[in-house]
Amino acid sequence: MSTINEKLVTGAFYFVHLLTRPKTSTKRIKMASEQASGAVDLDKLSLEELNQAKQQEEGRLQALTSRYAQLRAAAARLTASSNAISEVSPASAGKEVMIPLTESVYAPGKLLEPNKLLV
């Protein structure tokens, strides 16, 4: 069961990453590569360039913070799903359940085959 959960969490993290990654310009990539190599001398940058670098780093920090929050929310949803599935047993066959259609809309249904669930 933990292997399935790990795969679901890993897949969710990757999916959220694809949805939230910012589109980077070539200027931003160039500046990032210069910073990674240590080639940028801050003393030689103008005030405007320093301001731009500061804004870019603040933007990156906000994007990372937002992605982290989204990943935590996705992990919480997967954990809740895993906990709900672990409570389903073969004795649950024929029981009435509420099936979520969206986060706030549910439809009544019957659990016919408790060992076949779609998450």
| CA distance linking residue 113 with residue 89, whole number of Å | 10
The encoded tokens of residue 79 equal 């954990």
Q: How far is 8 from 14, CA to CA, in rounded Å? A: 10
Q: Which helix (H) or strand (E) holds 42?
A: none
Q: What is the C-alpha to C-alpha distance for residues 17 and 25, in angstroms, rounded to an integer? A: 18
Residue % of the chain over a pLDDT of 70 = 66
Q: What is the pLDDT of residue 17?
A: 52
Total H helices, total E strands in the chain: 3, 2
Mean pLDDT of the chain: 77
Q: How confident is the model at residue 84, as a pLDDT?
A: 83
Where the chain has pLDDT below 50, the residues are: 1-2, 26, 29
Answering whether pTM is above 0.85, one says: no
